[in-house]
Every structure is written in C-alpha cells, then in structure tokens.
Structure 1
Amino acid sequence: MTQPLSMDFLSAGVARDASAPPRRSGFMGDSGGRCAGEAGNGPPSSDRAGRAVVWILDDSPLEAEMAARALAAAYEIEVFSDAAAMLERMTGGDPPDVLVLDQMMPGMSGSDVCSVLRSNPPTVGLPILILTVAGQEQDLVEGLTAGADDYVVKPCPAAALSARVGALVRSKRLRERAERAEQAAAVERDLLRALIEQSGVGIMATDERGVLRICNREAQRQHGVLGRSNGPEGPGGRRLLAAECCPPPLDDSPLERALRGERIENARWRVTRSDGSIRALAGTASPLRHADGSSAGAVLITRDQTDAIEAERALRESEERYRVIISALEEGITLQDAAGVIRTANASAERILGMSLDELVGSTTYGPFLRMLREDGSPFPHEMLPANLALRTGEPQSGVTLGVERRDGTIFWLSVNARPLHTADGAIAGVVTSFFDVTARRRAEEERQSLLSAAQAARREAEAASQLKDEFLATMSHELRTPLTAVLGWIRMLRTGKLSEDRREKALETVERNAQAQAQLVDDLLDISRIMAGKLRLDVQPIELAAVMEAALEVVRPAADAKGVRLEPLLDPGVGAVSGDAGRLQQVVWNLLSNAVKFTSRGGVVRVRLERVDASAEVVVSDTGQGIDPAFLPYVFEQFRQADSGTTRKHGGLGLGLTIVKSLVEMHGGTAHATSEGRGRGATFTVRLPLTAPSQRLGQRRRQSGLELPSGIEPRPELDRLNILVVDDEEDTRELVAAMLEQCGAHVTAVASTAEALAALRALQPDVLVSDIAIPGEDGYELIRKVRALPARGGGRTPAVALTAYARTEDRMRALRAGFNTHVPKPIDPAELLAVIANLARTTGGP
C-alpha cells in the first residue's frame, strides 16, 4: 500500500540563486535525434500498454517539453512545473517508475525534492534522474548526495536522456523482480520451516563443519531438549550424539559418517536423555553438497522406535504368556487358518488325539489317522465338524460331542468348542478349536444311567416278582387245597364204611386222581427250582422224536377224550434223531399238549405236527381254544405268569408248565415260541430242536486227538469250524473245556486272563466267548463289560457264556446284566455246555 508523502517539505525549498547563469536549452535535437543506444541501452519497452511512467519536473516549459518529446515514444510522460504540486500529486497515487527533475528550480531545488522523496518510505526507492548544466558541479554533488540515482548534463542529446531513463527503468524492474523472488523464497522458507517443525520424524542438519543448523521439535523431543535454546549439539556445538547411552565410537556415528560423504540407512542406536530416560532411535543420514560437489553439511532423519519396540516386546511377552498358558491347559487347542489348515496345536491336543504336532500341522482334517463319529455311531460329516462349520458360518460352535475312533479301533469322546477369528474388517481369518476328553464322564454317565435304569428295572422286577409271588402263593394254595379237599372228604367218608361199592370205587378214583395232581405240582416246583439253580441234569442220547411224541399223545389222549377235544397228530417218522433227554422231551410235548387241551373247549381240535425244517426237527402244537391276549403274549413263557391269575380264573395250575418247556428246550439247544391271533382264536406253540448228523469227519478228529467225549455225550455238528475263545485261570478246567469243544470240531483258543482274552478277541474275532467269572485281577464281569464297550466290528457283540461256581439266581441275573448271553453253573455238564454253545452259535449266525 502506498504511504502518503510528508507535506512538511513542500515549503522548505531553497530559492534559486539569482546570480545563477541564464538557463540554456537542455536537449539537442528532437525525438528523431534520439540515440538508438547500444545494445541494452534503449527504452525497456515500446509497447504502449505496458510502458513505464516517467514524470518530468522542470520549471521551464520549453525544456520540459523537449524532455517529454525525447521520452514520449517509449514512456508514459507526465510533466510538472511545480515541485509542491508534484509532491502533492504523489501523495494521492502511485509514484512513477522514473522521476526526471531539474536541479535548478525556484523554491525547491532538485536536491530538496530528492531529500523529501528519500525520507518517505513509499518513494525511498524511486529512481531519480537530475538534469543539470555544465559548470554546476556543486549542484550535481548536492543532487547525488540528496539521493539522485543518475544525472544528465544539459545540453544533452535526446537519445542519451532516453538511454539514461531506460537504464533506471530496467534497474527498477530488476530490483522489483529480485524483491518478488526474495518474498517468494521467504514464503518457501517459511513453508519448509513449518513442514520441518510439524514433521513426525526428527530432522537435523549441520553445516560442513558439523555445527547444527536445523533441529526440529521432534528431534528435540527425541533427545529430551525440547524448548532449549542450545539444542542437542553436545560439547562445543560440534558433535550431535556425544551423550548416547551405548553410542558407536564418535567418529563412527551416523552423522559423522554422513559428513565424510557416506549415506547411512536404517541405523539404530539409543540416546540417554537428560532426565535419564533412554530412547531407541532409527534413522538415515545423508551428506549435503554444494553445486560444485563440495560438502555443505549433512542431514539426519530419525524415528523414535521406543514405543514400537516396547509394544513389540509387550506383544512378545503377551504371546509367550499365552503360549505358556495354552501349553499348560488340559484342553486340547488347535489353530486353523481361513482355509481350514491346522497351523499349530498344544501338547494336550497331541496327547488327547494321539497324534504328533508334525502329523497335525499342515492338514485340514485329523484323518486318515482318526475317524469322527456322531453320538449314534454314524460317521460325522467333515463339513459339519465344529471348526469347519465355524469357518463357513462365522458363528461359534459350543458343546459339540463327537466320538473319535483311533487307529487301533478304540473310541473316545470329546466335547468340542470352535470360535472363528475375525480381521479388523470382519473377514474370517481362522478358527480356534478347543476340546477335552469326556470319555470317562460319558462312561460314568452311561453307567449311572445304566445303574439307574437297572435299579428302576430291578425295582419293577422286584415289585412284579413280589406280586407274582403273592399270586403264585395264592394259586399254589388254591391248587393244593382244592384236591386236598376232595381227598380228605372222600377219606373221611371211606372211614365211615357206609359207602356202596360204586361209591367206594368213585372215592378211590378221586383220591388217586387228586394225589397225582398234587404230585405233578410238586414235580413242577422241583423242576423249576432245579432249572433256576442250574442243577437240572439231562440224560442226553440220540432219540427219535416221533416215538417221544407218540408216548406223550398216549398220556394226554384220555384227558382229551374226556373233555371232547379231538387230537390230530401228523408225525413224520423220517425226521431223524435229536440229541437229548427222552424223558424231558416227552415232558415238553406233554406240557404243550396238556396246555392245549386245558384251554380248548369241547368240540375243539388240537393239532400236533412233527416235520423237518432245514437241520432242525420242528414240533408244532396248535389249538382252536381261547387264544392268548396280544398284551400277554411276550410273557407267556415267564415263570408264575398266567393270563388269568385272579380268583375267577377257570383253569388250574401254577403257571410253570410253559416256563419249564422253554427252559428244557433251550437246554437241548433248541428254541420255543408262541403265536396267537388273539382271544378266542387259538394259539400255536412251535419248538425247534437241532437234528444230530454224526459225520465221518468228527469221528476222525476224535481218533486223531486221542480224546473222546464223556460217555453218553454225542458230538454237536453245529460246533464244527466254530472259533471259540475259552477264558479260565484254572488250567484243568480250561483244558477240559477246550478238549470237549475240539472233539466237536471247533477251533479253540484258550487263555488264562482278561488281558489275554481282550487281545485274542481283537485278533481272532471268535464266534463264541466262554469265560469263567472268578478270574484273578479283572474278573469275568469286568471282561464282558470291556468286550461290550468295543465296536461291533471289534468284537463287541460276540456271544458270551458265563461259567461259574456261583449258581444262585442272583448270580445268574448278575451275569446276564453284565453282558453275558447265558449262564452255565459249575460243575460243568458237558452236554448242557455243548447244547448252550450250539444254540448261541445258531441264533447269532455262526459259520
């Protein structure tokens, strides 16, 4: 902005000397007489639009006109004749580019005007050209002393005047250009200084002597001297890093090496600040050079790494703590990436899975080493495993129970949790899976549930048994008292001696019939007692079933005829022989026939059929009687069970007959079952007994072995080629059982302990297991529990027979609950044992 000139000097002019010589014409020639000037001496521009402005101050109109004419071609001219008027004009607007003034003027001389202009800031740099005359050197000196830039002595050629004015214009423009450049440089310096000060890195620069010239705020902060005037130069202002905690030798510091011309990158060092704290720095040092290549100093760019190093150290310590914690966890931990590849696992994972870290890392599944199972035993789909599901859905999976089958076939159970890992933008980066072994807990829960179920079942059985006992006792009381009533009554009447002959015969017949009924009741009770105690013995020998059935029919026929029930036998005499006790088998047929006659009304039919079905003899007894309620059909062979056990029942008996039938049939290696279409539609009882088929092969084996079966015991073809595992710690018993089975063609493996038995079971996969109960260490109950815990293909469903000297009912029930299929008491009846094994092999699908 232009500042106004001081008006105090307008009246301070000095009067022209009256004795001065007369004015001469100052300029020679016209504009045509201008000097073209040497190169660079002409006017700065001939363009009217951008021409310089020249003011002329001369009290002589003629000389002013001549000067204007000399300059008009190149400049914008404005002529003033009065100094005060010109100065006043200059206060109201911008000054000209050049002022041409006459030294010799009335009032204010040229020197006075120069003094006024040089004392005011807006015109202190205005180019001034003084016009003077020859011989007035004193005036010239005054003008130049007052501040004139140049002068012209009149008379002067117009070209010379124009050249002098042009030189002043050019000088002014060069000065203005330099000022603008300096201003721009100052702006750039300020901007650079601001950038350096606000930079997030430390910036330090030295001159060629190593004296610090630039040190921004960040560098001061890093060295702990923020706000100090002397900066972090060190002793004498020469060395920057003399106070480092563990510095390299002084001559080897990054800045010193840069001063020697080296460029140092990624240097690292520590600085001990004045407060004792230590900062870790990293930086780059570079040499600075002049245009001629000589050293201009060095610059050091530093970054404070302390916080990053501390954060990295804290992260390493945190990772190490978590690594120690994870390693110490009882839970197995695996980490998988976004592709499901296992990257690491802890020691518990190796222990639980039975796999090494090398086997785990790099795979996407635990297979083929392990097979995953659902709780129902079916394969667990790979894509539904908790880790894979978490990766696919991004949702955590918790409390998933899955089974794992190891390479050795054993199964253990895991509770699995899987939690996905997310990046900052929410993408799934991987999954962490944790799991722990719940096999023992699951087994305990299963055992608890099994015990609870067993206890509940036992309670129900006890309650049912109690009820059955009460009903049985009531029935037995009735069945005993009813015939006794007739017996006692007729005996008393016989004692009177007053009965007629016919009456006496009737009385004796009644007494005999009821006595036989009582005897049958006692026999049934004794039989069921022997069966339950395992003491019923069979006299086994080859028999023809047709003859046995004929004998039973003859016994039952009188009762059937008396009741009006027709017997229709259809017996195939060519069925073949069975191995059994003829008396007991007759008892079976007689019980079935008696039962059928009892429950068939007058005019009904009881059909009896004997035929061969495959390798068995089949006995079928069917009637047209009252039938069996479907709800009672599953219990028809249970002891003491009767479809009608109340006081209104129509038929007598203790309800033991069918129980005895089933027990005797099973002791012969056979099966018995009943069918009925319902009440009033009759019932059918079917018994199947294995036929004997003595083979030349079995006889040859007996001769080669030098051993024979006990007298009266026939070989069982059903045992031929069976693989049987015998477990007994008593060597004599073990060899006896093995010899009997080998005589029947079986392949026998005999061991003395539970551990040997389990190993043999896995290796041989036997068809039948025969085990003693009283084995030292782990007894037979523990053995069967371990067997039943195996998968089916590992032998978990192998049919098993318990051998024991404990023959009580509760011992038998305990063996069955533990997992044995049946129970044979000691001392062993060979025929019974062979029949039981043959029956097991047949019913479970042996070879």
Structure 2
Amino acid sequence: MPLHDAGTVRSKLVIMAVSTTFVALLSASLAMLLYDLRTFQRYWIDDLTTQADIIASVTAPALVFNDARTAQQSLALLRVRPQIQAAALYGASGMRFASYLRGGPGGTGLPPAPGRHGHRVEGGEIEVWHKVMDDGEMVGTVYLRARLGVVERLANYATILGAVLLASLGIAALVATRLQRAITRPLEAVTHVAREVMQRRDFSLRVPGHDGGEIGVLVAAFNDMLGELGRRAHALQDANRTLEHEMRVRQGAEQALLLADRRKDEFLATLAHELRNPLAPIRTGLDILRIRSGDANATERATDIMERQLRQMVRLVDDLLDVSRINTGKFAIKMGRVELKAVVNDALEVVRSTIELHGHELAITLPDRPVFLHGDATRLAQILSNLLNNAAKYTNRGGHVRLDARVEDNALLIEVADDGIGIAPDMLAHVFEMFVQVDSTLERSNAGLGVGLSLARKLVELHGGGIEAHSDGVGKGSRFAVRLPIVVAPEPPAKTIPASLISAEAFRILLADDNVDFVNSIGALLSAMGHSVVITHNGTDALTAATRFFPDYAFLDIGLPGMSGYDLARSIRRLPSGEHTVLTAVTGWGQEKDRQLAFEAGFDHHMVKPVRFEQIEEILGNRGTLKKVRS
C-alpha cells in the first residue's frame, strides 16, 4: 500500500479488512493451538497408558516366575519409541525388577520405588504408573516416562499457522482491494463532484450511478442536496438581480425626478421671462397710443407692435395647451387632404416676422409637382412653423435657414436646417423632451419654453410620421428631418355651398362679458360693420336682453357675474327664439373638458381668450352652412 495513499478511504478500508482478518485468524489460531495442546497431551497420556498396559501384560509371567532377563528384553523393545525416555518394572515388594533408559543402562533418573497408579505431567515430561496384575493379584508396577515435545510442537504449529496467516492476510488484502471499489467509487465520485461544485459554483452537477444500499442512499441524498442548493442559489441570484434592478430603477427614477425638478424650475423661470417679454412692448404701445393718439403713423406702429407681441403670447399659451391635450389623450386632429405648398405658406405666415426680425436669409426648395398629404392642415403648418421658429431662435443674427422638401419612397421628407449654434452630441437624444433647451444662457433671452420641438414630434407622430435631429456639433448648425406619408390618389372635388344659403344681411349680436374694455371694443367694431349690437356685463342682463332682442349671434363669457355662461346658454336655448341663436363661448379656459362642458350647455362654438376679431368674422361668415362647426 503506497504511503501517500494511507489516509484515503480506500487504504483505510483495506487496512480495516486485513486487520479484521488478522485478528480473526489469530484468535482462531490461538484457540486451535490450545485445543491441540490439550489434545496432544491427552493423546500421550492415553498412548503411554496403553503402552504401560501392554508391557504389564507381557511382563506379568516374568514377574511371576522371576525371569528378569525376559522382563529386561521386553523393556528394551521401547527403543523404537524415541519419545519414551525411561521405563522400569517393579516387583510386588517394590524392588526394581528391570529398567530401560534411552542412552544406556543404569538406574539414573528412575524412581527408587513405584508410585501410585495413574499419570503426572511436569516439566515437559509425562510419567505413567500402571499395576501389573495376574489372576486378579497385583504382582508388580510398570513405570514409563516420556518427553512431550511441546516446544517442538509449538514451533511446528506456529510455522504452519504463520504461513496460513500470511497467506490468508494476502488473500484478504487482495479481496478487500477488489471489494472496496464498490464503496470507494461512489465516495470518490461524491468527493470529485463536491470539489467541482466548490470551484465552479455549478450546482447542476450530479454524482452518476444508482447503486442500492446505504451508498446509494448517500449518493441520492447528496444529489438532492445539490439540487436544493442549486434552487436556493438561483433564488438568491434572482433576488439579487431583482434588488439590483430595483436599485437601478430607483436611482434612475431619483435622477429623473431631480432632472424634472430642475427642468420645472427652469421652465417656470423661462415662462415668466417669456410672458414678461411681450408685456413691455405692449405697455410701450399703450403709452404711445395714450400720448400720441393723434399721430396716425405712431398709432399704426404701436398697433403692429402690440399685435405681434400678443400673437407671441398666444402662441406660447397655445403650445402649452396643445402639449397638455396630447399628454392627456384629449387632443384630436382633423384629417383631410392637404397640399404641401399651402401648409408651407401657412407656416411662413406665422414665422416670417420672426425670421425678418433676426435678419436671417430663408431659402425654400419644394417639389415641382403638387404633393398631397393626409393630415390636419393647421397642425402640419404648426409643425413647420415650430421647426422654422426654433431654427431662427438658435441662429445668430444674419444667419441662414433652409427648408427643403422632396419625395422619397412614397413619403415626403422635409428638412429644416440652419447654421446656428448647433447641438452637442449628448443633447441629440433629449432635444425632443419637454422643457429641454439646447442653449439656456442669459445671452439668448428669446430661447422659448422648450416645448416647440416636443410638440412638433408629437404632432408628427399623430400623422403617422417620424422626426429626427442631426448636428455635427456645437457651432456647426442643426438639421431636423420630418418624414410624412403622402397621398398619391387625385384630389377629390371640393363640396360647394349653394348661394341661396348664404346671407349678406346684418345680424343682431348679443355680447356678454364683464371685461368692459374688451366687450366695448368688439361691440364698436361690429357696430361699425352695420350689425345691431347689445352689450351686457352680467348674466341676468344678458338673459333679459336675449328675451327682448332675439339675437342671431350671442358671444357669452363663461365667468359672468350673477349667472355663469353655461346657465345663461341653457336659459337662452329655452327661449322661443333660442334654438335659432348661434351661441359662442368666450373664455380663458381651453382644455378639452371645458369645450365639452360648453357644447353640453348648448354652445355652438368655443373660443379661447384673447380672441382675434378675425375669429368672430369667421363665425359670422359661416351662418349659412348646413352644419355648425365647433372650433
């Protein structure tokens, strides 16, 4: 057995088997040796007793007839028994009659007188005394002494037992070596798999084999333990991954909240700035009108400035309302067949003054043939105006703005490019987010609210298109590409309204608003056009006027004193002439729910303050249509 292998289970099993065999053989050998010694001693006692009995029978006549020579000859025959060392024949009187000593004559070593009938073992020798009988009468005694030879017997026996023991141990070691594999192989497999699991952390490993007995139970239990550990390890890993994911999500949410909070603060500050900016020119225009009311040129310039600034404020508020409607899912677009050039012209009407104010050079390239889109003309124009307005704001004075449109794969690709401040690479993915501004420095005071691009993207997506931002870096300009589906089919004929349904007569108009300056100015304009106008400043007076005046049109503020505009509209509808009156709600609330409340109250139209006179003219001009339009 190798020394380095002495501590293994295999060597221990072999040693255990050999040791057990050795102890068993040694115990059996000692027992057999003791038994053999007793048997050997009994054999010699029986043998000498028999020999003594034979000698007594043979020498009895010699003793009777006192024939010493015959008795001596009889004893001499014992020389053929080398173990018998001495023999003697005693007469009835106790005198030695004849004797025998191995090695020569003489009486040395012989007892002087006979002993008691029987035997005695002492000092490795055995002595036997036997009576000589003749016709029932004791005529003498036979004495025999023999060497037992226990040492020689033990030596021979030990030699034999040693050889047998060594052979048995060898055979036991060989058999144990073969048999121990049935035990050590599963244990070695368990040890190997356990080591692999610890090193590789792979709990899918299993110990092969399906042996029965305790070893099989051990292997099965070990495999079950590995399975349970694997399940727990996977559960722990899943829990760790879940915790890590939750931590990342929470960290991302926290960062998003911090970013949203910062953008909110920036947005509120920018909103206050953007709303204050138009107020200063409007205030200055009012001062001009007050101080130089007789100067027609100064009055016209002041009016132009005030109208331009007012449109800017209305544009800001409208953008915010549109974004809110889209985010809440209450924004609807009116899809129809739209020609590209008409959309571009409408967008230019909105942004031309801004581009001219900054001194930019605008270049426009459109397809030669008409291109038709399926969408909302107003919202499509709003997309382009937002992109052009964004390009004008973020381009230094005297820059270049370009609008290119071309058809690619049954789609319209519109690109708005500039040579302005450009967009940093890390901002390209965020420019379409709410309240994000590429440049928010104090030097660029007209940067806007950061909602234009976000609104443009959402409007493009509502039309089934897409928008992308491109820039070569800061100071290298930017480019926005819009892709929209086009309509290839020919344009359907427009529906015409019969001339008999159109009336050019003056109308009776009821105005109800607690803003005296606004309602009086609108009333003056309508009266100058030849209409009959009644002006009231609360709900009760308005209802009284409607009862007596039978108005064709009624423009009603919602927040009237005494009676809300909703209640006033319902009351007018209950009048005999109320069903023929075109009711228009004029309010500062422009959410979709406010429009719905107005229509439910009986209004035909809904206008959000500030109201342009052109909107009122449009409503007055649509009276002849068969279908009332809710704007």
User: Under TM normalisation by the shorter chain, which class is it?
Assistant: 0.3 to 0.5
Normalising to structure 1: TM-score of the pair? 0.34
Larger helix share, 1 or 2: 2
Q: More relative contact order in 1 or in 2 (CA 8 Å, sep 6+)?
A: 2
Normalising to structure 2: TM-score of the pair? 0.45
